[in-house]
Amino acid sequence: ATLASARAAEALLDDVKAVAESAMRAPVRKAKPARPDDLKAISGVGPKLEQVLNGFGIWTYGQVAALVD
Protein backbone atom coordinates (compact mmCIF):
# COMPACT_ATOMS: atom_id res chain seq x y z
CA ALA A 1 0.00 0.00 0.00
CA THR A 2 2.90 2.36 0.71
CA LEU A 3 4.40 1.95 -2.77
CA ALA A 4 0.98 2.51 -4.37
CA SER A 5 0.46 5.63 -2.25
CA ALA A 6 3.88 6.96 -3.23
CA ARG A 7 3.11 6.38 -6.92
CA ALA A 8 -0.27 8.08 -6.57
CA ALA A 9 1.34 11.06 -4.84
CA GLU A 10 4.00 11.26 -7.56
CA ALA A 11 1.33 11.17 -10.27
CA LEU A 12 -0.60 13.93 -8.52
CA LEU A 13 2.55 16.03 -8.24
CA ASP A 14 3.20 15.56 -11.98
CA ASP A 15 -0.36 16.75 -12.72
CA VAL A 16 0.09 19.82 -10.51
CA LYS A 17 3.40 20.63 -12.21
CA ALA A 18 1.78 20.35 -15.64
CA VAL A 19 -1.04 22.70 -14.65
CA ALA A 20 1.42 25.20 -13.16
CA GLU A 21 3.59 25.15 -16.29
CA SER A 22 0.53 25.61 -18.48
CA ALA A 23 -0.60 28.59 -16.41
CA MET A 24 2.82 30.20 -16.79
CA ARG A 25 2.55 29.86 -20.58
CA ALA A 26 -0.93 31.40 -20.69
CA PRO A 27 -1.21 34.32 -23.07
CA VAL A 28 -0.83 37.76 -21.60
CA ARG A 29 -4.16 39.54 -21.37
CA LYS A 30 -4.14 42.42 -23.82
CA ALA A 31 -6.37 45.41 -24.38
CA LYS A 32 -8.47 45.24 -27.53
CA PRO A 33 -6.21 46.09 -30.47
CA ALA A 34 -7.33 48.59 -33.11
CA ARG A 35 -7.88 45.69 -35.53
CA PRO A 36 -8.59 42.44 -33.63
CA ASP A 37 -8.50 39.18 -35.58
CA ASP A 38 -11.80 37.57 -36.58
CA LEU A 39 -11.59 34.55 -34.28
CA LYS A 40 -14.80 33.18 -35.84
CA ALA A 41 -12.64 32.23 -38.82
CA ILE A 42 -11.27 29.40 -36.64
CA SER A 43 -13.19 26.15 -37.10
CA GLY A 44 -15.53 25.63 -34.15
CA VAL A 45 -15.45 29.25 -32.97
CA GLY A 46 -18.76 31.04 -33.30
CA PRO A 47 -19.90 34.45 -32.12
CA LYS A 48 -20.47 33.31 -28.53
CA LEU A 49 -17.05 31.66 -28.11
CA GLU A 50 -15.37 34.66 -29.72
CA GLN A 51 -17.13 36.87 -27.16
CA VAL A 52 -15.93 34.62 -24.32
CA LEU A 53 -12.34 34.69 -25.62
CA ASN A 54 -12.49 38.47 -25.98
CA GLY A 55 -13.73 38.63 -22.38
CA PHE A 56 -10.50 36.90 -21.35
CA GLY A 57 -8.49 39.44 -23.33
CA ILE A 58 -7.83 37.08 -26.24
CA TRP A 59 -8.13 39.05 -29.47
CA THR A 60 -5.57 37.59 -31.88
CA TYR A 61 -4.72 34.32 -33.60
CA GLY A 62 -1.33 34.43 -31.90
CA GLN A 63 -2.93 34.45 -28.48
CA VAL A 64 -5.11 31.48 -29.43
CA ALA A 65 -2.04 29.62 -30.73
CA ALA A 66 -0.32 30.22 -27.39
CA LEU A 67 -3.13 28.33 -25.63
CA VAL A 68 -1.97 24.99 -27.04
CA ASP A 69 1.37 23.19 -27.05
pLDDT digits (tens, 9 = 90+) for 39-68: 999 999 999 999 999 988 899 999 888 887
Residue 34 has pLDDT above 80, yes or no: yes
**Residue 69: per-residue pLDDT:** 53
Contact of 34 with 60, CB cutoff 8 Å: no
Rounded to two decimals, the pTM is 0.57
Contact of 30 with 57, CB cutoff 8 Å: yes
Of the two residues 6 and 34, the one the predictor is more confident about is 34
Q: Long-range contacts for 21-25 (Cβ within 8 Å, ≥24 apart)?
A: 25/66
Mean local confidence (pLDDT), 19-40:
79
